[in-house]
Structure 1
């Protein structure tokens, strides 16, 4: 029986824009330059201000699609080693978010953990979240942090600081061709 949270029923959103936001965060963290970080933040704020309600929804759906794609990759990588992705990814993710109380308020952590678990079990994160009501403004930064932390986790596993971004960019490129 098909779930109402099956990814085939979910809008993909603007995955390219969501990837740009996450890639920008990854680069600013790894560059370690606070001037560049402030410039990047100003550019991101300017970009998101121009989106409008429909563009913001597309960006949100795109971030959820990224989370789904990252968790799909992580699930397959863990299964190759007979490990459970939920057991190995979620506790670290939750612990990291709990160390970031200015970016991720404690009440957002369970929602983000649920989102990642939904994606890790093959469900659409945005459809899973939708059953609990509309997204809140307070969940936007934790959603970005979740996508960022998953990308960073993949980059650490592969020992390649651009792997997660490149993987998604290649998937987007091949979907445009086909």
Structure 2
């Protein structure tokens, strides 16, 4: 039976801008400049304030598309080793989220975990989330952290700090070259 959360029904959103934000955060972490959190947060808030409602929705959909693509890659990678992606990704993901109490409110962790599980089972994270109403302000940092943590997980598995970003960039390039 087809699901209303099938990714083919989901808008891709602004994947390029979402990827740029994640790549910027990853580079700051890898370069040891993650301590400039206040400055980074201020820039993020200024950028978010400059977006209109449609642009903000596109960015949210883009972040969800990243989460879906990252989980799809992780699912295939773990299945190649006869492992379950949910079993190997979700516990460390939840533990990492819980270690960020200043940025991630505890009450949004179940929602982000649901997004990861939805994506890991082949559902669209954005359509899965829309079943439960509009996004909340408290979920914005957590959504970005979700995409960031999944990208970092991929980079650790591949032992390549740019793998997750490059994978999405290559997919975007391939998609734009199709007639």
TM class by shorter chain equals over 0.9
TM-score (norm 2): 0.95
Residue 12 of structure 2 corresponds to residue 2 of structure 1: no
Q: Give the match for residue 77 of structure 1.
A: 77
Structure 1 vs Structure 2 CA RMSD = 1.4
**1-side partners of 2:53 and 2:113: how far apart?**
26
Residue 148 of structure 2 corresponds to residue 148 of structure 1: yes
Q: Which moved more, 1:136-145 or 1:40-49?
A: 40-49
- Secondary structure of the corresponding residue to residue 160 of structure 2: coil
**Shift in Å, 1:32:** 1.3
**1-side partners of 2:43 and 2:142: how far apart?**
19
Asked whether the equivalents of residues 24 and 40 of structure 1 are also in contact (C-alpha less than 8 Å), the reply is no
TM-score (norm 1): 0.95
**Shift in Å, 1:30:** 1.1
**Shift in Å, 1:40:** 4.3
Q: What do the CA deviations read for 1:46-96 (whole angstroms, capped 9, x no partner)?
A: 322221111111000000000000000000000000000000000000011
Q: Give the match for residue 55 of structure 1.
A: 55
Q: Give the match for residue 176 of structure 1.
A: 176
Count of aligned residue pairs for this structure pair:
178
**2-side partners of 1:89 and 1:168: how far apart?**
19
Asked whether the equivalents of residues 75 and 120 of structure 1 are also in contact (C-alpha less than 8 Å), the reply is yes
Unaligned runs of 5+ in 1: none
**Shift in Å, 1:34:** 5.6
**Shift in Å, 1:162:** 0.4
Q: Give the match for residue 135 of structure 2.
A: 135
Asked whether the equivalents of residues 13 and 65 of structure 1 are also in contact (C-alpha less than 8 Å), the reply is yes
Unaligned runs of 5+ in 2: none
